[in-house]
Amino acid sequence: MGIVIYVIATSASGSARAFILVLAATGVLWSFYWGFGLLKRTDEEKELGVPMIIRSGTTPEARDRGGWAGVTAGIVAAPVVLFAQIFVVGAAAALVISLLQKYISIEEFEAVTGKKAPRRRAKPKLWSKPLGK
């Protein structure tokens, strides 16, 4: 959530930024209110020593309707998610391969082996080069 708010705060401007930040803050506050509201216990439950367990507070019928709505949304969203995975599968595979190696980071490699790894330099971007060169 912090990353999303940071991106909004740094990339949006003017009244759009304020509106989106207020909307995001409202969403976060509502989620905490709703989430902790699920932990409420009745006085009888407190006397019995029933622990605070998340309880939906909905009827079985409402849960059934919600379940079928989730199934329908899943059927609609599944092709979209599958298509979106095309754009991240390579990075995910690279992450898995890197996690299977002996050293997970350059810093760890340097600390364990005592060798200094050469630093990589970012390639200059096409638009950062002077025009005509």
Instruction: Assess contact for 38 and 57: CB atoms under 8 A.
Output: yes
For residue 16, the SS3 value is helix
Q: From CA 121, how far away is CA 128, in angstroms rounded?
A: 15
Q: From CA 112, how far away is CA 103, in angstroms rounded?
A: 9
Q: Lowest-pLDDT range, 25-29, 78-82, 123-127?
A: 123-127
In this predicted model, what pLDDT tens digit does every residue of 46-97 receive, in sequence order?
887 777 777 666 677 887 888 899 889 888 888 888 777 778 878 888 888 8
Instruction: Assess contact for 55 and 38: CB atoms under 8 A.
Output: yes
Residue with tokens 């506050």: 29
pLDDT, greater one: 83 or 114: 114
Q: From CA 45, how far away is CA 54, in angstroms rounded?
A: 13
**How far separated are the first and last CA of the chain, in Å rounded?**
42
Token code pair at residue 64: 């059934």
pLDDT at position 131 is: 61
